Structure 1
Amino acid sequence: MSWLVTLWTCYAPSLHLVGLVGRQLGLRVGFQGVQTLNCSRWGTPSDKGVFEDGDVILGGLFSLHSEVSVPHLQNLPLQYIYAMVFALDEINHSSTLLPGVKLGYRIHDSCALPAWALQAALSLVSGDNPSCNSAAEYLEAAGIGDVQIFVSYTASCPCLSDRQQYPNFFRTMASDIYQAQAIVQLAIRFNWTWVGAVVANNDYGLTAVKEGIQGAGVCLAFVETLQRETIVSDARRAALTIQASTAKVILVFTWYTDVMQLFLQLAKLNVTDRQFLASEAWSTSSDLLQEPVSRKVASGVLGVAIRSSFLPGFESYIRNLNPSLRPDDKFLKEFWEKQFLCSPGITTSSASLPVCNDSETLARVHNLFTDTSQLRVTYNVYLAVYAAAHALHSLFSCPDINNPPGNNTTCLLPNQISPTELFQHLSKVKFITPQGELFYFQGADITAKYDLLNWQKTPDGQLKIALIGRVDGFDLHLNESAIQWSTGSNQVPVSVCSESCPPGTRMATRKGEPICCFDCIPCADGEISNKTGSPQCDRCPSEFWSNSERTACIIRQLDYLSFDETLGITLTAVAVSGVTVTTAVFVVFLYYRQTPMVRANNSELSFLLLFSLKLCFLCSLVFIGHPAVWSCRFQQAAFGISFVLSVSCLQVKTIVVLAAFRSARPGAEALMKWFGPAQQRGSVCLFTCIQVIICIIWLSVSPPVPQPDFEIPGLKVTLKCAMDSVVGFSLVLGYIGLLGCTSLLLAFLARKLPDNFNEAKLITFSMLIFCAVWVAFVPAYVSSPGKYAVAVEIFAILASSYGLLFCIFAPKCFIILLRPEKNTKKHLMAR
């Protein structure tokens, strides 16, 4: 792992040590064949390194030698070493940062071996001081856990953010969780919800998947792990899983050598249509880019990389390095020998190499050491040095509370530094880098900054890396038009378990499957979803309803029984016909008013009954048309009063018939005095007035008002006369029913009275029809939706009116018009 820091005093009062320790590849990437040959020949870490004295010493550990199979990779850690030296040189020449304090350095090679790194770290802390019996004894006596501070430039394990376990740790490399989250942002940006994962079987891969991806809106179709010891078989297994999976986007979170094996296995299976998402460990690998197999299976890779930055003057500094100017620099001497195959004349030359002729220069050398176009980890080293320098600057100077504001005084001298104080100042460090970026620590971490890269094919068929965006913290900036996809076109690959549900439907997860696998269920009536992939349907407000596609709420259309629709026209025609027939009967009775048939059946009540029936037919028309305040109040009152008038007439006619026959008995002559014309009119008026009073009270207290019936589902909402008081309407109907039942009872009692034309029989039939209609009306009215409830009430009014009209007057009109011979007093009086 990568560390910066230990601040320590060993033997000289003015000498302090800040140690910078490099990443151990054995822990991060899992190299199998790490060799100790390149390190063992140096004896101890202090025998080989780069050193310079100063008031404060910064120590650094870098994995310069790691694996002989990839010797060119040693050039990159060498660049890190001289980035540290370059940064220290800048600081020492700065007039504002640590003025008067010279920073020195002690840089060692950790060889990517934990044991060797520990030995080198002990050497840094002890300073190789003979007065310290040994580094181990010195650290044991001093308590290294209390005094060391580490700043890492490449350690990315999320575990290192834990202040409880690593209280003295800082880093200029973001946690792997952030790059996993950046990849998730990419997946969400392109609607990739079904992603496969191939990860290293260690903290680097597993932690990123567990803490960065799972539960972040992306489902993992599979997770395959790669183990260094069994990489070939693991890569084969992962390739077969990728081939069988429906996931078209594959996240690979492992070291580039593992990726190479995976690509080889995929090429054997001819799997070339997958879109790969790369972690920073392999997204910038030049080895992978140059492999033909990568061009076959991995074009269009989208990757996350450590943010690259430009260091002014660094390239010139690198290319001007020369062993003749740094005679004690053993790292540079070794590099020079390998690069130019000659030995610098500054020391005893290698027996196997000729002496250099001083014409060698790095100006025309092109390798990872001299390439400064992509300074990623190198820039992290640079930032680590500046962070330590700013912490020291803050520690050495602070405002004096006894002096006026703005006056500074030295708080500490280099020989007075304590690790606790340095930790406090390093925690609060905040400065603008020479590149103009704001730098500060958040606990152990810094704000995550990444470059977004794309592997693109060049015209000659090679692969190149193109910068397509960046990540700043949680903000994703992406130039989508610059992306070259694995499909070879501008079409974004699709990788979903289920296609996104279109508007008008909702997602319904499948039992036992990930949330990204679902079915699309159409929204119910009155509900909508107006965007793709809606997890639920939203109910429309009561005054709105869903359109046919269930994608938008549209205002509900007012619906009522109108005169221009079929049902309204039919009912209107029936009502008008009833009025016409009633008028015709009225004319017939009026014309033949002197005939026995008309006079014998109480002509005055018959005319009043015909008038009330005409009102019944006409009142039905008030129920048709757009409900208004006046119509809602008038229709029920007209209905109730008209029918009470009709039934009252029938009831009085029945009473008169009964009284007439009773008066024929001895001693009952006086009975008819109580049922003369005046009493008949008074009775009808009394019965009707009771209904009028009920209606007045009802309509005064809680009258019906026009109101949309939003409770009934559907695009059309019925505008009806809502009855706030059911009691009032019940009293109106109840009173009509009471009179109707009374009339039926009386008519039933008089049905067998001896007469050639007994009107009581006709009243009995008419009241049976009347009662049957209104008994059936109640359940039909309650169960009918919307305007059909109004139609039911109109039908009941018309049916009962026609029943009364035909049962009472049809037989009479038949005799008057078609059997005039029976329209005589003799015939009517015959028994």
Structure 2
Amino acid sequence: MTTPLVVMWSLFYHLSAVTPASLIPAPVCSLQGNFEPDFQADGDLIIGGLFPMHYRVEPPDQNFTYKPAAPQCWGFDPRSFRWAQTMRLAVEEINQSQNMLPNFTLGYKIFDSCATHVAGQRAALAILNGPDLAQSVVCSGTAPVLAVVGDSGTSQSIVVSRTLQPFRSVQQYLQDVVFTLSGEEVDFDAHGDSIPSYDLINWQRGATGNIEFVNVGLYDGAKDIGNELFIKEEAIMWTGHQTKVLVSVCSESCAPGSRMAVRRGAPVCCFDCVPCDDDKVSNENDSVDCTSCPDDYWSNAARTECTPKAIEYLSYDAMGLTLTVIAVVGACLTVAVLGVFLYHRNTPIVKVNNSELSFFILLSLTLCFLCALVFIGEPTSWSCMLRHTAFSIAFSLCISCILGKTLVVLAAFTATRPGNNIMKWLGPKQQRFIISVCTFIQMIICAVWLVTAPPFPNKNTQYDRSRIILECSVGSEQAFWCVLGYIGFLAALCFILAFLARTLPGNFNEAKYITFSMLIFCAVWLAFIPAYVSSPGKFTVAVEIFAILASSFGLLLCLFAQKCYIVVLKPQKNNKQHLMGKVTK
């Protein structure tokens, strides 16, 4: 492409002169309007030119009551104007040449298409018409039009091509034609259309700052399919003097585990990659949104897949085994103390402490230690109901026995006053009755609890959404705290009565030990309340087991440690005189 017209996006239309087929009279042909060219030169052969020398059109007023005026073009385009001047100079150079088109004069008609389809179509038809208004039986009077150069836009060129399609009779002679012009090969396909061939030009800035046009490739439509385009990538210079292909996106692709968040006010290609929230995943690039995991699943660390949630409960791990060992040791110690008391049941220290009530206390303490084992392991419907009911009834039985013992101790020392026969109201039958009534009340509370809203196993996913905490829901919060409140009431009553009897005479005042044991018991369970409410997951169960074991050990040590010490290690003190404080030194 060596001619000056290479700069233009051109489309050649080979047209023939319109001549009548016969001299048979035809309807009168009249020109309906006039569209003057911007540049015109007569000749034996005519070349048309369409260039958008203006880039905006102001349409006329169209009220359909009179013929509309011609549209006005605005916005002068000097670049397209240079194209038109290049065509004029090229035609003049051809006419001055002795070798190119001898004995023929080449003319031209150059129109302003105003970068619109309608103006381009009008200009294409005006190229075919004569210069003046005429009325004749046939439309004639213009020189043969060989070609039309233009229009610069693709869509405008399509309109011009379809408009000129009926006048293309000469083109039928150019099917499958190949010839050489000025050293370049010109091809026409089977339809008579010229085969496109384009140079790919890269604008580059030279060392001195000037702009250089470097040929970096070629598009040749005559090549085989797939080989039409050839690019020399190493010769391309991108902006900023870069040889690597520029990234044509604003943001990098979002990897799996994240989602695209569009930036406000920015183009669609500009976005931020936001990691998926907990419990959500995305497993493909450029995800618009993250997908929520099912209820029993949780997102992995990369947020790319859902994995089953970890299940947590107080199992027989290190913590569970430690609590199990402590509970078993406590139960064994209690049974051992019971064995010692049975073996020495006829000694003064066992008799004076009401051996029957002591046996009941030791048996209930054994149950308290063992009921802690029910809290360990995976919760089930039966274990959940058994946990709190067994614990509450066992402790109610224990505290009821201590209450009966406290009443006996208090009555025994006040019965020595003249006329006081209170002991006849606190005999063995009455003691058993008191214990039975106090324990039966707790049993009724537990029965109502189990019937109305029993404890049940529950999957807690609210505290920690990444885990499933298997726990025993109490069912009824009111019933749970009512059970604990009743045990606290019995303990407080024992503490008050024992406190009143703490100053009674004797080396072995049982009331002092009961007072101290109830003080430890109440302190443990008062500390249990805030710890139970604030402990997470399996630690809630561990806190409850710890409270059971701590209070049980406190009762066992305070009530029976000194007695066992005297019975086993100091048998010489196991006599009535020592117990009454009448031993002489």
TM-score range, shorter chain: 0.5 to 0.7
Alignment partner, residue 304 of structure 2: 551
Conservation of the 8 A alpha-carbon contact between 1:529 and 1:550? yes
Q: Are 2:116 and 1:364 equivalent residues in the alignment?
A: no
Q: Which residue of 1 aligns with 2:514?
A: 763
Cα distance change of structure 1 residues 172 and 804 upon mapping to structure 2, 3 Å threshold:
farther
Please tell me whether the aligned partners of residues 456 and 473 of structure 2 are also in contact (alpha carbons under 8 angstroms).
yes
Q: Which of the two has higher C-alpha Rg?
A: 2
1:640 counterpart residue number: 392
Distance in 2 of aligned mates of 1:504 and 1:739: 58
Other-structure match for 1:826: 577
Distance 1:798-1:376 versus aligned 2 partners, 3 A rule = farther
Distance in 2, Cα, partners of 1:613 & 1:560? 26
1:18 & 1:638 partners in 2: Cα distance? Answer: 113
Q: 1:315 touches 1:372 (CA, 8 Å); kept in 2?
A: no
Residue 317 in 1 paired to residue 172 in 2? yes
2:549 — aligned with what?
798
Q: Which amino acid aligns with 2:558?
A: C
Deviation digits for residues 569-600 of structure 1, max 9, x if unmatched? 10001001101111111111111111111111
Q: Is the 8 A contact 2:172 2:191 kept in 1?
A: no
The residue type paired with residue 561 of structure 1 is L
Compared CA separation, residues 495 and 599, structure 1 to 2 (3 A): farther
Question: Which position in structure 1 is the counterpart of 2:486?
Answer: 735
Deviation of 1:372 (Å): 3.7
Structure 1 residues 18-72: Cα deviation after superposition (integer angstroms, max 9, x where no partner): 99x99x9xxxxxxxxxx965x24469x9x998xxxxxxxxxxxxx9x96353689
AA matched with 1:112: F
For 1:580 and 1:517, the matched residues in 2 are separated by: 72
Displacement of 1:757 after TM fit? 0.9
**For residues 397 and 548 of structure 2, what CA distance do their matches in structure 1 show?**
14
Structure 2 residue aligned with 1:780: 531
Structure 1's 595 and 18: CA in aligned 2 closer, same or farther, altered over 3 A? Answer: farther
Counterpart of 2:350?
A: 598
Alignment of 1:102-251 (within 5 A): 111-114=110-113, 128-130=133-135
Partner of 2:326: 574
Q: How big is the shift at 1:509?
A: 7.0
Let me know the Cα RMSD of the aligned residues.
Answer: 4.9
* Partner amino acid, structure 2, of 1:317: Q
Contact 1:456 1:466 in 2 (8 A): no
Distance verdict in 2 for CA 1:371–1:793, change over 3 Å: same
3-state SS in 2 of match to 1:112: strand
Superposition deviation, residue 527 in structure 1: 3.5
530 and 48 in structure 1: CA distance in 2 versus 1, 3 angstrom threshold: closer
Match of 2:459 among 693, 699, 708: 708
Counterparts of residues 334-733 of structure 1 (less than 5 Å)? 364-365=179-180, 370-372=187-189, 463-465=217-219, 486=233, 494-506=247-259, 520=273, 522-534=275-287, 537-563=290-316, 565-669=317-421, 671-713=422-464, 715-733=466-484
Q: In the alignment, which residue of structure 2 is the partner of 1:745?
A: 496
Rate the CA distance shift 1:647–1:462 in 2: closer, same or farther, 3 A. same
The alpha-carbon distance between structure 1 residues 789 and 155, as it changes in their structure 2 partners (threshold 3 A), is same
- Give the counterpart letter for 1:603 in structure 2: S
- For the 8 Å contact 1:153–1:377, the answer to whether it is kept is no
**Quick check: 1:455–1:466 contact (8 Å CA) kept in 2?**
no
Show structure 1 runs of 5+ residues with no match.
3-11, 25-34, 50-62, 75-107, 132-151, 161-170, 175-305, 307-312, 322-361, 380-452, 468-478
1:530 positional shift: 2.6
CA contact (8 A) 2:113 2:151 kept: no
Aligned pair in 2 of structure 1 residues 788, 515: CA closer, same or farther (>3 Å)? farther
The structure-2 alpha-carbon separation of the partners of 1:813 and 1:504, relative to structure 1 and needing over 3 Å to count, comes to: same
Alpha-carbon distance in structure 1 between the residues aligned to 2:195 and 2:428: 121
Q: For residues 532 and 607 of structure 1, what CA distance do their matches in structure 2 show?
A: 73
TM-superposed CA distance for 1:628, in Å, is: 1.1
Alpha-carbon shift at residue 632 of structure 1 (Å): 0.9
Q: 1:688 to 1:316 in 2, by over 3 A?
A: same
Give the partner amino acid of 1:128. L
CA shift at 1:673, angstroms? 1.9
- Normalising by structure 1, what TM-score? 0.48
Per the alignment, residue 67 of structure 1 pairs with 84
Checking the alignment, whether the CA contact within 8 Å between 1:556 and 1:717 is kept in structure 2 is yes
Contact 2:217 2:230 in 1 (8 A): no
Match of 1:330 in 2: none
* Structure 2 residues without counterparts, runs of 5 or longer: 1-9, 12-24, 49-79, 92-106, 137-149, 162-167, 203-214, 237-243
Residue 455 of structure 1, CA deviation: 7.2
Please give the alpha-carbon distance, in whole angstroms, between the structure 2 residues aligned to 1:584 and 1:17: 132
Distance in 2, Cα, partners of 1:611 & 1:587:
11
**Aligned AA (2:172):** Y
CA separation of 1:514 and 1:560: change in aligned 2, threshold 3 A: same
Match among 542, 552, 561 for residue 810 of structure 1: 561
Hey, what's the Cα distance between the residues in 2 that align with 1:483 and 1:702?
82
CA offsets per residue over residues 353-398 of structure 1, 9 Å max, x none?
Answer: xxxxxxxxx653567975348999999xxxxxxxxxxxxxxxxxxx
Give the percent of matched residue pairs that are identical in Structure 1 and Structure 2.
Answer: 44
Question: Do the aligned partners of 2:406 and 2:494 also contact (CA within 8 Å) in 1?
Answer: yes
**Structure 2 residue identity aligned to 1:464:** L
Residue 659 of structure 1 and its aligned partner are, at CA, apart by 1.7
User: For the Cα contact (< 8 Å) 1:654–1:746, is it kept in 2?
Assistant: yes
> In the superposition, relative to structure 1, how do residues 641 and 40 fare at CA in structure 2: closer, same or farther (>3 Å)?
same
Tell me the distance in 1 between the aligned counterparts of 2:513 and 2:194.
Answer: 110
Alpha-carbon distance in 1 for matches of 2:199, 2:357: 101
C-alpha displacement of 1:508: 6.2
The answer as to whether partners of 2:469 and 2:537 remain within 8 angstroms in 1 is: yes
Counterparts in 2 of 1:639 and 1:538: CA distance versus 1, 3 Å? same
Q: Is the 8 A contact 2:200 2:216 kept in 1?
A: no
Hey, what's the Cα distance between the residues in 2 that align with 1:653 and 1:319? 128
Secondary structure of the corresponding residue to residue 111 of structure 1:
strand
Contact 1:155 1:173 in 2 (8 A): no
Contact 2:179 2:186 in 1 (8 A): no
Tell me how far 1:552 sits from its aligned partner: 1.3
**1:604-635 Cα distance to aligned partner (Å, 9 max, x none):** 11111111111111110001011111111111
1:485/1:493 contact within 8 Å kept: no
Q: Aligned partners of 1:374, 1:768: CA distance in 2, in Å?
A: 111
What do residues 238-278 of structure 1 show as CA deviations (whole Å, max 9, x unaligned)? xxxxxxxxxxxxxxxxxxxxxxxxxxxxxxxxxxxxxxxxx
Deviation at 1:800, TM superposition (A): 0.7
Distance 1:485 1:639 in 2: 87
Question: Could you say if the C-alpha distance between residues 365 and 774 of structure 1 is closer, same or farther in structure 2, counting changes exceeding 3 Å?
Answer: same
Partner of 2:65: none
Query: Number of paired residues?
Result: 460
Answer yes or no: is the 8 Å Cα contact 2:217–2:231 preserved in 1: no
Query: 1: CA distance between counterparts of 2:308 and 2:454?
Result: 28
On the 8 A contact 1:315/1:370 being kept in 2, the answer is no
